[in-house]
Amino acid sequence: MTNPKIEFKDVNKIFSGNTKNELILQDINFQIYTNEFVCILGASGSGKSTILGLIAGFIKATSGNVLFNSKDITRPDSSRTLVFQDYALFPWLNILDNVAFGLTTKKHKQNNVREKALEYLTLVGLGNYKNHSVNQLSGGMKQRVAIARALAVDPEVLLLDEPFGALDQQTREAMQTELSRLMTKTKKTVLFVTHSVDEALKLADRILVIGGKPGKILLDYKIDIQKPRDPSNNQLTSVRNILLDKLFQPELFMGADI
Ligand SMILES: Nc1ncnc2c1ncn2[C@@H]1O[C@H](COP(=O)(O)OP(=O)(O)O)[C@@H](O)[C@H]1O
Ligand SMILES: [Mg+2]
């Protein structure tokens, strides 16, 4: 078997507050392999964003190892890019320059930057909007721009933190379909954080359920059902029940602030 692309080995994370230190993640162990689409599913406050922050290199584990291609992650790098729920676009730049932003480092030749940015903007269906400003776009379009920006640097791993959480249901479903298509096409390794069971069921090859206080991996479940999936499929319904059982164990919520 090949080496994992990402590996957590006995990871603990303590955040130090003003009055006390709090253990947020405990004994986290998992591996993610090349080309997998993995969803991290858990309630609000369970530590999902913290896991993505560790992989992105924004925060450090208190103990244990977070590995990328078998090496410890020590800082952010364009091999691992992150898309946030709130788009995080630059309102003073037009759409093309937003996508080009991450490319304006020494790794990329300046004259190729706009060409590359347009290629990715076209990939997400917004080639004709390149000169628009951010505030002329709908939420779904903004998130397409954010995804194009994250993909344009050709990362090995794409990290998405509840990227469709701010969108209305119809746009959200359209974006899920679009992301599935894009990921099949670009063959990225994807870690997608969500608190929606149905979103995870639609997108994931594998689902890691996180919960409890401190947060632990409660279930690591591989879904062997071809995509696109019919939500009323019997097999999917039984997976949904397994996930819901794990997510809503009453003992998990004792003392939890939800
Ligand atoms: N920088 C930080 N300092 C202190 N506590 C934090 C910090 N970041 C997150 N936390 C706490 O860690 C817990 C998990 O947060 P988070 O990973 O954002 O959860 P999720 O993304 O699942 O909603 C929460 O209780 C949150 O308040
Ligand atoms: Mg979060």
pLDDT tens by residue, 11-55: 999 999 888 999 999 999 999 999 999 999 999 999 999 999 999
Contact between 67 and 208 under an 8 Å Cβ cutoff? The reply is no
Residue reference for tokens 């499929």: 233
Q: C-alpha angle with apex 175: 172 to 180, nearest 5 degrees?
A: 130
pLDDT category of residue 258 using cuts at 50, 70 and 90: very low
CA 84 – ligand 2 centroid, Å: 9
Q: Is the CB of 101 under 6 A from ligand 1?
A: no
Indicate if ligand 1 lies below 6 Å from the C-beta of 44.
yes
Residue spans of the domains in the chain: they are 6-79+155-253
Minimum-distance ligand 1 atom for the alpha carbon of 59: 1
Burial 118-143 (b: 16+ CB within 10 A, else e): bebbebbebeebbeeebeebebbbbb
Contact (Cβ atoms closer than 8 angstroms) between residue 175 and residue 140:
yes
Residue nearest atom 1 in ligand 1 by C-alpha distance: 15
| Protein residue with least CA distance to atom 4, ligand 1 | 15
* Contact 50 CB / ligand 1 (< 6 Å): yes
Ligand nearest to the CA of 40: 1
Give tens-digit pLDDT for 59-110: 999 999 999 999 999 999 999 999 999 878 999 999 999 999 988 775 666 7
**Whether this model's pTM surpasses 0.85:** yes
Q: How far is the CA of 97 from the CAs of 81, 128, 186, 257, in angstroms?
A: 17, 14, 22, 41
Judge contact between 69 and 4, C-beta under 8 A.
Answer: no
State the distance from the centre of ligand 2 to the C-alpha of 239, rounded, in angstroms. 24
**Ligand nearest the Cα atom of residue 28:** 1
Mean of all residue pLDDT scores within the chain? 93
Whose C-alpha lies nearest to ligand 1, atom 18? 49
pLDDT, position 75: 96
Phi, psi (deg, nearest 5) at residue 143: -70, -30
pLDDT band at 2 (very low <50, low <70, confident <90, very high): confident
**47 pocket-lining for ligand 1 (C-beta < 6 Å):** yes
Ligand 1 centroid to Cα of residue 22, in Å, is: 10
Give the residue, 253 or 142, on which the prediction is more confident. Answer: 142
Average pLDDT over residues 223-248: 95
- 140 Cα: distance to centroid of ligand 1 (angstroms): 26
**Residue closest to 196 by CA, chosen among 219, 173, 225, 222:** 173
Per-residue pLDDT, averaged over 214-236, amounts to 95
Per-residue burial over 30-61, b = 16 or more CB atoms within 10 Å of its CB, e = otherwise: bbbbeebbbbbbbbebbbbbbbbbbbbbebeb
For ligand 1, pick from 49, 51, 191 the residue to mutate: most ligand atoms within 8 Å of CB.
Answer: 49
Residue closest to 47 by CA, chosen among 228, 209, 199, 248: 209
- The atom number, within ligand 1, closest to the CA of 257 reads 25
Measure the CA–CA gap between 57 and 52, rounded to whole angstroms. 8
* Ligand sitting nearest the alpha carbon of 13: 1
Looking at residue 139, what is its pLDDT? 94
| pLDDT for position 144 | 95
| Superfamily of chain region 6-79+155-253 | P-loop containing nucleotide triphosphate hydrolases (3.40.50.300)
Indicate whether residue 253 lines ligand 1 (CB < 6 A): no
Burial of residue 91 (CB within 10 Å: 0-12, 13-18, 19+) is exposed
Minimum-distance ligand to the CA of 42? 1
Instruction: Report whether pLDDT(256) > 70.
Output: no
Both tokens assigned to 194 = 């969500």
